[in-house]
Amino acid sequence: MKGVILDAGSLGKGEVDLSPITDLLDEWQVYGTSSPTETIERIGEATVVLSNKIVLDEEKFSIAGKLRLISVMATGTNNIDLDAAKRADITVSNAVAYATPSVVQHTISLMLALSTNLPAYIHDVKSGAWQKAPAFCMLDHPISELDGKVLGIVGFGELGSSVAAVARALGMKVLISQRPGCTNESKYRLPFDDLISEVDYLSLHCPLTAETENLVNLATLKKMKSSAFLINTARGGLVDAADLLQALGSNIIAGAAVDVLNTEPPPENDLLTNANQNNLIVTPHNAWGAIESRQRLVQQMADNINGFLTGKPIRVVTK
């Protein structure tokens, strides 16, 4: 059997040990990334294919007659044509919950950076402003505590509930939103439009669906407190980027931090990465990227392959 990893570069620059995967088959080909044309060439003789974001569809399946397992190096499988995979008798497995500690700490880090105006103070030190200050300290930018503040969470699964646990440990009150478009959930979950007016921090952890696309827009932002902050470590499409910039520039909300964009990597003219807003933090979709998280992902891929080889596939999305 032959195995192919199409975009191993998404795991980093060599810090991750791939041997749990590569020890399972006699022949492996590992590529940093693969164009559509290269993908067709590379999967032709493969039985097992690992992919993070490379698109695999019916056209590619038609030339990969030996392909029997796709193990997606992520939770989301929107880059795989699942119906076509099923017709081609290809098992598709994914990864789950491997990056929870990493995403949680990144989310909390963004909240802390916003509440302490950390980027502004780092800039002040590097620019020499502290060295010229008349007092021993600088308090030029507002600093607030998370203790006593209200955190609203949209998406209360593995990630949302874990963020809530840490937030409560920091003294925050947590409110949970109903799923957008759902009206029959627990009485302990607030309708989204009711929740956003009460929160000091709004953190998004929900999937991107027809109901959640551009969930945060100018109308949403205008319902929030002017002192509130937005954090998005979920999907870029949850937030209307142009509306967010307008809200930040007009002080409709106090600040925002995003780890995800509509297009990744972003084009040179991306609105958020080009914004000159002191109250906006943009990180490069690396909330999940702790070395421990990536190694857990590799182990889950190995487990998926081993399950397939022993006739007991796991984490199956379709087969």
Catalytic sites, residue numbers? 235, 264, 285
Q: Find, among 168, 163, 174, 4, the residue nearest to 99 by Cα.
A: 163
Question: CA 59 to CA 118: how far, in whole Å?
Answer: 49
Q: How many CB atoms neighbour CB 289 within 10 A?
A: 18
How would DSSP label each residue in 125-136? HHHTTGGG-SSS
| E-state strands within the chain | 2-5, 27-30, 48-51, 69-72, 91-93, 150-154, 173-177, 189-190, 201-204, 229-232, 255-258, 280-282, 316-318
**Which residues share a beta bridge with 256?**
230, 280
- CA distance to 40, 73, 87, 239, per residue, from 161 (Å): 40, 23, 36, 21
- Strand partners for 56: 80
- Residue 155, exposed/middle/buried by CB under 10 A (0-12, 13-18, 19+)? buried
Residues 6+ positions from 115 with CB-CB distance below 8 Å: 143, 144, 145, 146, 149, 229
Q: 161 phi and psi, to 5 degrees? A: -70, -35
